[in-house]
Amino acid sequence: MLAIERKNQILAKLIMDGKVLVSDLSREYGVTEETIRRDLEKLEKEGLAKKTYGGAVRVDNLNADIPFYVRKQTNVESKQYIASIIGSMINDGDYLMLDSSTTALYVIKHILHKKKITLITNSIEILLELSNKSGWTIISTGGTLKEGGLSLLGYQAERMISNFHVDMAICSCKGIDSANGITDSNEQDAEIKKAFFRNAKKRVLAVDSTKFDKSSFVKICDISDVDLIVTEKRPSDFWLENLKSANVELLYEPVPEE
Amino acid sequence: MLAIERKNQILAKLIMDGKVLVSDLSREYGVTEETIRRDLEKLEKEGLAKKTYGGAVRVDNLNADIPFYVRKQTNVESKQYIASIIGSMINDGDYLMLDSSTTALYVIKHILHKKKITLITNSIEILLELSNKSGWTIISTGGTLKEGGLSLLGYQAERMISNFHVDMAICSCKGIDSANGITDSNEQDAEIKKAFFRNAKKRVLAVDSTKFDKSSFVKICDISDVDLIVTEKRPSDFWLENLKSANVELLYEPVPEE
DNA sequence: GATTTTTGCGCTCAATTGCCAGCATTGGTT
DNA sequence: AACCAATGCTGGCAATTGAGCGCAAAAATC
């Protein structure tokens, strides 16, 4: 038996059982315990096992599996909070559009208990999250896979979006600024968001407070083009006034559910 | 014996058995171990093997890196083998369509080292697998997420597919039968495969040998409509004759690469 | 027939494994 | 809490086996 084969089998056993014992493995493979320890040592170096006295245990680094998830998850609490507010506005039977943001994914997690949701998204993570969901209608925009990301972009996606009209579109952005409006860091993402907003009755922008007074390269739309902005804490008086005059609703606290 | 011939036989053995030993192969082919090592070196460069002390193992991170969807992986060896044959037919710069089958996913894993591939797929797993790939163009068909699955279906997907024309479409099926042709278990999947085939110059059907003489509910197309069938072992004389008269190419062994 | 590719040989280097001695950890006992 | 025996761990060493490299011969290709 090849050394690597033994190592792989140990890994498989480790994954299945959660733990392995040096003594067992030594007997099972007919090698000395030192050899087993050296195998476990390698697995530990690869981040797949954690050695302990007498054996090793599994290390559950599901995050490490899908490299995409490694991206920096900034402001998780803010995004969760924003997502919970948005989630509380969604009702059974709603028709939604969601972009490919972390916040959108959190929104999904908050509304998993709702019935008969129909949604259109360009996020592959959302599709994955919902692959076991029954009773919903989940439509992917299709399009070109963004390099190094899990979102679908391009004119095919835009055209697909244009075929649908929904109650509410939920998008995020990179910056919101009174001079430049709502902006994103690249054209393709911005175009998708434009398309979402074009085809939704209610346009919801999810932005954590760090995005205020920032602007990025590509304009998505004017501030007055969105219907509702959801953030995680009370913006400055300037912004309250600004949004009010632009006739944009603002939420930074949970809404009482019906 | 030609060097390439030996290399292909080693590959076949590797895929079927999961591993090969340098010492065995050296004895079996009557060449020195260096020669075998050089063969394995080439296979490793092509991404088809992983050299290790004493031999080589199949690139079998496949089982390890799809931890969530631990769906029953039937006939893994057959599918791997079929995928390697198909993979060897794909060249840098090719335009492909791939359906949402396990075999298609394996094909992807076998061609990760190719350059500038453009592909269209309705498989979410393939999108995931390729989310970190740079230099390729990866297009999702979009469409409705299949309940309990990771594929995209529906007329939106079909329409997206109809916008593209590719060199080769690679699909699987549930059954192939001389009376009923090529069949699948549900209409939506079948429609997608029809669309793939409609828009491809070369239509490749990947079927493990258990699918022969089976038929399912929905017809995809006639046997004579496909250009190439790839399977993992020599079908019966009846089928050889049948496919020959239908003018369908058949492969069940690795093809010599250029 | 010339050129490129493949193969074999001899050599050195590297990897794997087992063994052993000494040290650390554990769990139970006083 | 201190102690002790059992079990496990670590690091060094040696033996075995495989790997890598350069070069020359053989084979295939043009």
Secondary structure string (H, E, C) spanning chain A: CCHHHHHHHHHHHHHHHCEEEHHHHHHHHCCCHHHHHHHHHHHHHCCCEEEECCEEEECCCHHHHCHHHHCCCCCHHHHHHHHHHHHHCCCCCCEEEECCCHHHHHHHHHCCCCCCCEEEECEHHHHHHCCCCCCCEEEECCEEECCCCCEEECHHHHHHHHCCCEEEEEEECCEEECCCEEEECCHHHHHHHHHHHHCEEEEEEECCHHHECCCCCEEEECHHHCCEEECCCCCCHHHHHHHHHCCCEEECCCCCCC
Residue range B160-165: mean pLDDT, rounded:
96
Q: Is the pLDDT of residue B256 over 60?
A: no
Residue range B220-234: mean pLDDT, rounded:
95
B74 pLDDT tier (thresholds 50, 70, 90): low
Cα dihedral A237/A238/A242/A248 (nearest 10)? -40
Q: Is the pLDDT of residue B112 over 90?
A: no
3-state class (DSSP) for residue B219: strand
Residue range B39-67: mean pLDDT, rounded:
75
For residues A8 and B59, the model is more confident at A8
> How far: B9 CA to D23 C1' (Å)?
29
Under 8 Å CB-to-CB from B159, ≥6 apart: which residues?
Answer: none
For the ranges A109-123, B74-88, B139-153, the lowest mean pLDDT is seen at: B74-88
Subunit contact B131:A68, Cβ cutoff 8 A: yes
Q: Is the pLDDT of residue B82 over 80?
A: yes
For residues A225 and B45, the model is more confident at A225
Subunit contact B60:A149, Cβ cutoff 8 A: no
Q: Is the pLDDT of residue B64 over 90?
A: no
pTM: 0.77
The pLDDT of residue A65 is 40
Residue range B221-243: mean pLDDT, rounded:
94
**Residues above pLDDT 70, as percent of chain B:** 91
The pLDDT of residue B68 is 38
For residues B66 and A111, the model is more confident at A111
State which nucleotides on strand C lie below 7 Å from a protein beta carbon.
5-10, 15-20, 25-26
**Distance in angstroms (rounded) separating the CA atoms of residues B107 and B90:** 10
Residue A165 burial class via C-beta count within 10 angstroms: exposed 0-12, middle 13-18, buried 19 and up: middle
B191 pLDDT tier (thresholds 50, 70, 90): very high
Amino acid at B2: L
Beta-carbon neighbour count of residue A228 at 10 Å?
Answer: 19
Average pLDDT, chain B: 88
* Whether the Cβ atoms of residue A151 and residue A98 lie closer than 8 Å to each other: no
Structural domains in chain A plus CATH codes: 3-60 (1.10.10.10), 69-251 (3.40.50.1360)
Is the CB of B237 inside 8 Å of chain A's CB atoms? Answer: no
Beta-carbon neighbour count of residue A241 at 10 Å?
Answer: 11
- C-alpha distance from residue A100 to each of A76, A106, A166, A171, B157 (Å): 16, 11, 17, 8, 19
B60 pLDDT tier (thresholds 50, 70, 90): low
Subunit contact B132:A148, Cβ cutoff 8 A: yes
The pLDDT of residue A38 is 93
Is the CB of A61 inside 8 Å of chain B's CB atoms? Answer: no
What's the token pair of residue B126?
A: 């393939």
Say yes or no: Cβ of B198 under 7 A from any atom of strand D. no
Paired with A49 in beta bridges are A58
**Distance in angstroms (rounded) separating the CA atoms of residues A211 and B103:** 44
* Whether the Cβ atoms of residue B82 and residue B109 lie closer than 8 Å to each other: no
For the ranges A31-40, A160-169, B4-13, B247-256, the lowest mean pLDDT is seen at: B247-256
**Distance in angstroms (rounded) separating the CA atoms of residues A98 and A169:** 6
Under 8 Å CB-to-CB from B121, ≥6 apart: which residues?
Answer: B97, B98, B99, B100, B104, B127, B138, B139, B140, B141
Is the CB of A160 inside 8 Å of chain B's CB atoms? Answer: yes
The pLDDT of residue B255 is 60
Q: Is the pLDDT of residue B115 over 90?
A: no
- Residue to substitute from A1, A2, A13, interface B, most B β-carbons within 10 A: A2
> How far: A37 CA to D3 C1' (Å)?
30
**With the C-alpha atoms ordered B172, B175, B180, B186, is the resulting torsion angle positive or negative?**
negative
Mean pLDDT per 10-residue interval, chain A, length 258 residues: 89 85 93 94 87 87 42 73 94 97 93 95 94 93 93 96 96 94 94 97 96 94 96 94 95 72
Q: Which among B51-60, B123-132, B217-226 has the top mean pLDDT? A: B217-226
